[in-house]
Amino acid sequence: MTEWIDQITGTPEGARIASALALSAAFLHALFGALQKGRHDPWISRAAIDICYGLMALPVALFVVPWPEPALWPVLAGAMVIHIAYKLAQAMTYQRGAYTVVYPVVRGSAPFFAVLAAMVIFDERFNALQWAGLVLLVGGIFGLAGHNLRKLTVGRDTLVPALVWAMVTGGMVALYTTYDAWGIRLAQNPFTFLAWFFLLDSLFMPLFTLRRLRALPRSEIAPLAARGTFGALVAFASFGSIMLATRIDDVGRAAVLRETSTVFAALVGWVVLGEKVGARRAALMALIALGALVVEFGAR
């Protein structure tokens, strides 16, 4: 499969497949976010997911994929540092602000930073039409944040630091997207990078939440393990899709398409969680989708 990926990289066929992968990652990322909501502390849920995908990745990393070449080990170590910083920034954001306000700010700032980073690192260039599409998409996402902010009744006293941390987290999303794209391109086998990434990434969150995990009643372990197992499968598909997309095609375009996750998150909330959408929110979602379409087809 690695040979096939290398063959389609940089081709029109590869661009189409990369776009499909990025949109799949967007839907799965929204689903992943929904899995962290519910009766459990979201960080406990995330720890359960990380434990499960670490256990799943272990035999694959050790016995299925080729071992990382020596030059890949420091790259993986750097990825771990960046992802730990991202998770901590995310925790600081969510502790201070309402999810419906800060999540769109994180996801709205991330593609803008990612496109700028891809310009510097990968010498990618957006044309004027694609920049217009990016403005539409980011504007729609920030519009969602503003719409949700108008209805916010609690947490306004910590809103400013929450928004600052949300912007920092968005920058971290762009940083790990760009860095990981560089890393998976360096790897001779992209699945080696993915397997070892998941194995190493699974270590931090369980240690970070160890005290809370120990305090869990026994009756909560089974449902949490089930949520963790399903979440791990979603994480494999989501992160794997976006990483393969950035190996096959442009990082900036894949990053923009991935941020349509805000639309999918709203749809998941509407269909699964019974949340109301409303005309204004639907219009903003349409604006995000339009921006993504302009970015996607503006280069062709």
Q: Answer with the residue of higher pLDDT: 70 or 150.
A: 70
Can you give the pLDDT at residue 13?
92
State the average pLDDT over residues 148-165.
Answer: 72
Asked if 57 contacts 198 with a C-beta cutoff of 8 angstroms, the reply is yes
pLDDT digits (tens, 9 = 90+) for 102-140: 778 887 888 889 999 999 999 998 999 999 999 999 888
Can you give the pLDDT at residue 44?
85
Average pLDDT, the chain: 86
pLDDT tier at 155, thresholds 50, 70, 90:
low
Sign, CA dihedral 164-261-130-118, equals positive
- Write phi, then psi, for 233 (nearest 5 degrees): -65, -40
Q: Closest Cα partner for 32 from 287, 280, 258, 274?
A: 258
* pTM: predicted TM-score of the whole model, two decimal places: 0.88
Give the CA count within 13 Å in the CB-facing half-sphere of 276. Answer: 6
pLDDT tier at 153, thresholds 50, 70, 90:
low
Can you give the pLDDT at residue 261?
81
For every residue of 262-283, DSSP letters joined together read HHHHHHHHHHTS-----HHHHH
Q: Answer with the residue of higher pLDDT: 69 or 212.
A: 69
Point out the least confidently predicted range of 112-116, 140-144, 191-195, 272-276: 272-276
State the average pLDDT over residues 170-191.
Answer: 94
Asked if 46 contacts 205 with a C-beta cutoff of 8 angstroms, the reply is yes
pLDDT digits (tens, 9 = 90+) for 256-268: 888 888 778 777 6
pLDDT tier at 298, thresholds 50, 70, 90:
confident
Asked if 256 contacts 111 with a C-beta cutoff of 8 angstroms, the reply is yes
Would you say residue 37 has pLDDT above 70? Answer: no
Q: Answer with the residue of higher pLDDT: 33 or 289.
A: 289
pLDDT tier at 84, thresholds 50, 70, 90:
very high
Residues of the chain with pLDDT > 90, as a percent, come to 44
Can you give the pLDDT at residue 204?
93
pLDDT tier at 160, thresholds 50, 70, 90:
confident
Alpha carbon of residue 216 to chain centroid: 28
For every residue of 68-117, DSSP letters joined together read PPTTHHHHHHHHHHHHHHHHHHHHHHHHHS-HHHHHHHHHHHHHHHHHHH
